[in-house]
Amino acid sequence: MASLAELARPLYDLCHAKSTYQWTQMEALAFQTIQQSIANVPTLEYLDYSHPIHLRTDASDLAIGGVMFQEYDDSVHVVQFLSKDFSQTEKNWSTIEKEAFALYYCILHCSHYLSGHHFILQTDHRNLVYLHHAEVPKLVRWHLRLQEFDFTVQHIPGSTNIVADVLSRICPDCVQTQVSSVIAAVDLASDRAQHIAQV
């Protein structure tokens, strides 16, 4: 399910050893939103290795988001949504570290699909195109770990990175609106692909 980590954050917070169990309206809203999201999840499709594989990633100050998809038959076929909430330490990282971690996390999370196959990694953070030149130890470690994968990093405008952007910006206070935004973003991306194919 798209952005489960962000949607369930208030519920996860109840499980911490140092937290006091207190069911408030925010937890109830998160629970109801997850129930509604499960009922309204967009249909995911199987990966077809005869078509190019795309993985789009994005990071915000709160979380990372990604979507793996393919474009063929004049439509977008979503294979998987990804999201992960940042820990307190990760929230203090620089922008390049957050964006690189989005790339790193999404590739490793999809490794069972991507191993042995070329794919296109799309990001709206231009510096990641030059990740192989990184000198920051953390980025070098991540780059070395990803060398087993065959991918090309491609910069895309932020305006076309809708789904990954929405998945990386979900906050507990505005969960319902943003779940609708994710579904609308998938529909918009599909409509844009159809429009481009017609032109």
User: Is 146 contained in some domain?
Assistant: yes
What domain range includes position 60? 54-198
Instruction: Confirm whether pTM is higher than 0.75.
Output: no
- 184, pLDDT greater than 60: no
Task: Give the mean pLDDT of the chain.
Answer: 81
Mean pLDDT (whole number) for 149-159: 88
Domain count for the chain: 1
User: Is 170 contained in some domain?
Assistant: yes
User: Is 29 contained in some domain?
Assistant: no
User: Is 36 contained in some domain?
Assistant: no
Query: What one-character DSSP code corresponds to residue 165?
Result: H
Contacts of 188-193 spanning 24+ positions with Cβ under 8 A? 188/162, 189/76, 189/162, 189/163, 190/75, 190/76, 192/160, 193/71, 193/74, 193/75, 193/76
53 pLDDT band (50/70/90 cuts)? Answer: very high
Q: Report the CATH number at residue 86.
A: 3.30.420.10
How would DSSP label each residue in 23-86? --HHHHHHHHHHHHHHHTPPPP----TTS--EEEEEE-SSEEEEEEEEEETTEEEEEEEEEEEP
Q: Whose CA is closest to 102, among 162, 40, 168, 38?
A: 168
User: Is 144 contained in some domain?
Assistant: yes
* pLDDT in the model for residue 172: 46
Query: What one-character DSSP code corresponds to residue 10?
Result: H
Mean pLDDT (whole number) for 10-16: 81
Lowest mean pLDDT among 39-53, 71-85, 87-101, 164-178: 164-178
- 11, pLDDT greater than 90: no
Q: What is the pLDDT of residues 155-174, one digit of tens each?
A: 988 777 666 666 666 544 44
